[in-house]
Structure 1
Amino acid sequence: MNNQTKIVLITGANSGIGIEAAAQFAEAGYGTIILACRTLQKAETAQKKLVQRVGKDVFEGLAIDVAEKDSALTAAKELQSRGHQLDVLVLNAAMSAGKKPLFNADGIEMTFASSLIGHHVLTMSLLNNGQLVPDAHIIIAGSEGARNDVPGMSVLDFNKFAVKHFDGNLEKAHEAVWKIQSPYKFKALDTYVTSKVYVAWWSEVLADKLPAGMIVNTVSPGSVPDTNFARHQTGLMKYMMPMMKLMPKSMGMAGSVAQGARRYVDAVQLGANTNGKFFGSPPRKLVGKLQVQTTPHFYDQKNQQASWNMLTRLTGISLN
């Protein structure tokens, strides 16, 4: 396969899985890899490291704070000015807050904002501006924790929460969650895995809206302790993540940064019959062969649509 004319954009490309994915795409022969980072300085630092590793400079920097819609709009305009048409869009960046919630400029908790606000705005802008090739592949980072089968992480029961506190109004319930409004109680890890349910829903809805030929998938890189995921964590989790890499491989609880990034590269080969689907590890495992995740709440169409409606309202953008 000739990838020399293909362009890949990766968010969160300055460290961890993001920078490793950039290296692997370059090694696979992709002609241009756009390093989308919070600042151009971070992108430039990553670029130097990558050139040293792969022996060629096929990288460009792009500033984007994926938690802020205005930053994503600015990044989209910059891409438009460069005349790029992207073949692969890897929406990798995300964060998990510490003991106390953090909020973006619009009052949305940062875990949700970093997972979807900027990524949604960037993706919609690229689609509306015709900056994705006809067979483009969109990949967004998921997590096995969203299945609700990982000890210590609990996904919100959205329907029960909406019925109990919002007379069944799902959109109002979702907004309360995203803004950490009463009665939703913030717990960092629960909020993180809950945010990844929204990611799976987003992919499912977007798949139905994309032009024929384009594909979107949620792809979990698996459990990768050697990243900055736990940088905002406190207490037990801050120490538990590094310990996970010491567990035997047979337990299926931890993988390498290279393995996590490889999942993104491999996902580009997924066909049209997988459009919208969430790929991750086998049940009750955090690493292993990629397979479609079948947990029923990922396919709750009422919540899919309600969360999409909320997201387009909060960001002010959808497909034209």
Structure 2
Amino acid sequence: MNTLASEQIALVTGATSGIGKVTARELVRRGYHIILLARDAAKAARVRQEFQQLAASGQRVDVLLCDLSDLSQVRRAAEEFIQRYHRLDVLVNNAGLIFGKQRETSADGYEMTLATNYLGPFLLTSLLLPALERSEAARIVNVASDGYRLAKPKLHDLNQEENYSAWRQYGNTKLYNILFTQELARQLRARGISHVVTNSLHPGVVASGFGSASGGLTSWLTGLAAPLLLTPDEGARTSIFLATDPIGGQVSGGYFAKEQAQPVKHAFTDPAKTRQLWQETERLVGQEFFGA
């Protein structure tokens, strides 16, 4: 597939609803060639059609189907992307869910929140790094959450086989997103890769469908609180800021909320623990991030 050298290419995960859809829509309006990574083909086709009507003449909106919880699908999608586009300028790892009271496992046997929110995005970013490196100035934007404050991670049990809690695991994965961002920024700098930056963010507490998969009390509480929550348009602002604003290209390893850098306060942010998390993640996804 031919893409104009001057056209910015962006891939957004979880791009068919909530803040992912708003992020992708605004990038379309800014002239980006958007690839919507989504699980549901019919839903993705509807969103693609909607966005194509916003696009300028010759501007493309494409779909890449992938369930991020399934690592074999992540590998296939990344391979397809590299073959079709070669280069990537912006990667927005937006997809995220909280699952239910009962612990569920992915196709690979991993706990579903961990697989969807963290392992899949980690592997996808690793596999797309060659395409990001071909950009003159690439950005990786990881949507995390202040829910990281709930995290009580155990490096020996990332899969949370002991004492499963849906909200605790959600908080854990959001902390992992932040630590992944910090460690990736450090490793990129150590390798002299200065034209690829990465930042994470808290979108605010957004009224979107992310809690609906959990069912029961979580869904009920999410619905009850909806009038107090941000709209997806409000929640997407920091993602769009980090993807497009000049400041987003000058910082790497930061954590942002309301378009401002924020400190990350958690006992687990020790560099040694962060590196251990990185190594354990590589083991779980079955590959070194920067390739052997």
Q: TM-score range by the shorter chain?
A: 0.7 to 0.9
What residue in structure 2 maps to residue 176 of structure 1?
157
2:255 is equivalent to residue 278 of structure 1? yes
- Go from structure 1 to structure 2 and tell me whether the alpha carbon gap of 1:224 and 1:132 turns closer, same or farther (over 3 Å shift): farther
Conservation of the 8 A alpha-carbon contact between 1:4 and 1:29: no
Q: Aligned match of 1:299 in 263, 269, 272?
A: 269
Question: Hey, what does 2:201 align to over in structure 1?
Answer: 219
What is the one-letter code of the residue matched to 2:225? M
Q: In the TM superposition, what is the alpha-carbon distance from 1:271 to its structure 2 partner?
A: 4.5
Q: Quick one: which of 255, 260, 284 aligns to 1:290? A: 260
* Conservation of the 8 A alpha-carbon contact between 1:203 and 1:217: yes
Q: Which whole-Å deviations, capped at 9, do the CAs of 1:155-200 have from their partners, x for residues lacking one?
A: 21x4xxxxxxxxxxxxxx424232x22xx31111111011111111
Q: Is the 8 A contact 1:97 1:232 kept in 2?
A: yes
CA distance in 2, matches of 1:219, 1:10: 15
Cα distance per residue 1:207-248 (max 9 Å; x no partner): 1122112111111221111x111112233321222332323x
Length-normalised TM-score, structure 2: 0.88
**Alignment partner of 1:76 is 2:78:** yes
- The answer as to whether partners of 1:221 and 1:264 remain within 8 angstroms in 2 is yes
Q: Aligned pair count?
A: 279
Task: Determine helix, strand or coil for the equivalent of 1:293.
Answer: coil
Give 1:22's aligned amino acid.
A
Contact persistence 1:24–1:262 (CA under 8 A): no
Equivalent residue of 1:62, what SS?
strand
2:169 corresponds, among 182, 186, 191, to 191
SS at 1:24's partner residue?
Answer: helix
Deviations 1:30-62 (A, max 9, x none): 2x0000111443321210122345576530000
Q: Distance in 1 between matches of 2:7 and 2:268?
A: 35
Q: What secondary structure, in the 3-state scheme, does the structure 1 residue paired with 2:36 have?
A: strand
Is the 2:13–2:92 Cα contact (8 Å) retained in structure 1?
yes
1:138 aligns with: 140
**Equivalent-residue separation in structure 2 for 1:137 and 1:277 (angstroms):** 12
Q: Is 2:97–2:117's contact at 8 Å kept on the other side of the alignment?
A: yes
Distance 1:197 1:155 in 2: 7
Q: Is the 8 A contact 1:216 1:275 kept in 2?
A: yes
Contact 2:86 2:131 in 1 (8 A): no
Equivalent residue, structure 1, for 2:48: 47
Query: In the alignment, does 2:105 pair up with 1:103?
Result: yes
Q: Which runs of 5+ in 2 are unaligned?
A: none
Secondary structure, counterpart of 1:118 in structure 2: helix
Shift of 1:26: 1.1
Identity of counterpart residues, as a percentage? Answer: 28
In structure 2, distance between residues paired with 1:130 and 1:88? 8
d(CA) in 2 for partners of 1:42 and 1:238?
22
- Is the 1:231–1:238 contact (alpha carbons within 8 Å) kept by the matching residues of 2? yes
Is it true that 1:87 corresponds to 2:69 in the alignment?
no
- Please provide the CA RMSD for this pair: 2.2
Contact 2:88 2:131 in 1 (8 A): no
Cα deviation digits, residues 55-79 of structure 1 (max 9, x gap):
7653000011111211111011111
**2:221 counterpart (240, 254, 258):** 240
Matches within 5 A, 1:153-168: 154-156=150-152, 158=153
Q: Which residue of 2 aligns with 1:266?
A: 241
From the superposition, tell whether residues 103 and 127 of structure 1 become closer, same or farther in structure 2 (CA, over 3 Å): same
Distance 2:108 2:100 in 1: 19
TM-fit CA distance, 1:278: 1.5
Q: Does 1:311 align with 2:289?
A: no
AA matched with 1:155: A
Distance 1:87 1:272, change over 3 A: closer
Q: Is the 8 A contact 1:7 1:87 kept in 2?
A: yes
TM-score by length of 1: 0.80
